[in-house]
Amino acid sequence: MNGNLDILDLVLRASWPVKVVMLILLLFSFASWVIIFRKKAALDAAQREANTFEERFWSGSDLAALYRDASARGDGVRGMECIFEAGFREFARQRQRRMDTRNLLDAAQRAMRVALMREVDRMERNLEFLANVGSISPYVGLFGTVWGIMAAFQGLGSIKEATIAMVAPGISEALVATAMGLFAAIPAVWAYNRYATRVERMTVRYDAFQDEFFSILQRQSQGADEHA
């Protein structure tokens, strides 16, 4: 018996149910890696955009000018700038209607909260898939392993003298399914934990900016009331 482990040969010799399990796990793994790379790029972009906008915002730039720049880009506004644009737009709109200060600030705060929730939802998109792959892949692989082992032992029913050499190939084929389940699950679990933490940090950062910007709007509205 050849001592070298030929994974491809084991896969090709596996029973059809085990092959189906392996194919499912392969698709899970491929989809997970696509999401992992895309999510990394999206979160990196969100962090860069937040850094750039915060630098402009706290540099003393005119808020109206920042708002015009954000509005000019339309749907291209993302992250922290989107929260700012939503809050300032609602603040300016309600101020034109001569609303009282309390309702004016409440409207701006609601607009920012809605924008923040949309940005968080966008960052969390597809993270659930990674969590599901990490949770169920080992069990899918285990199902293929159990099925393969049952098939291997069932083939020994008509044999009077069974040896380990007779069942070893079948068991090896079945255990490949478990290995593939772990191969799909481990990166998905790591990526989910990593990206969920990054999303949480960005959410805290967005929330802090929202509070700071709300304080600025509050001071502006109070100053306008004093000069009225």
pLDDT tens digits for 181-215?
Answer: 999 999 999 999 999 999 999 999 999 999 999 99
Position 227 in a domain: no
Q: How many domains does the chain have?
A: 1
Position 47 pLDDT exceeds 90: yes
Position 207 in a domain: yes
Position 228 in a domain: no
Distance CA 135, CA 189 (A): 8
Position 228 pLDDT exceeds 90: no
Are residues 101 and 225 in contact, defined by beta-carbon separation less than 8 angstroms? yes
Given pLDDT bands bounded at 50, 70 and 90, which one contains residue 120? Answer: very high
pLDDT at 1: 42
Position 130 in a domain: yes
Position 197 in a domain: yes
Q: Map residue 60 onto helix, strand or coil.
A: coil
Structure tokens at 161: 């003298």
Position 47 in a domain: yes
Strand ranges in the chain using DSSP code E only, listed in sequence order: none
Burial class (CB in 10 A: 0-12, 13-18, 19+), 60: exposed
- pTM of the predicted protein model: 0.81
pLDDT at 72: 84
Distances (CA, A) of 78 to 24, 46, 56, 82, 217: 35, 8, 15, 5, 21
Structure tokens at 178: 């478990």
Position 1 in a domain: no
Domain of residue 71 covers 7-221
Longest CA–CA span in the chain (Å) reads 102
Distances (CA, A) of 51 to 111, 114, 169, 192, 209: 22, 21, 56, 24, 12
Position 2 in a domain: no
Distance CA 28, CA 18 (A): 15
Query: Considering only CA atoms, which of 206, 202, 217, 198 is closest in space to residue 80?
Result: 206
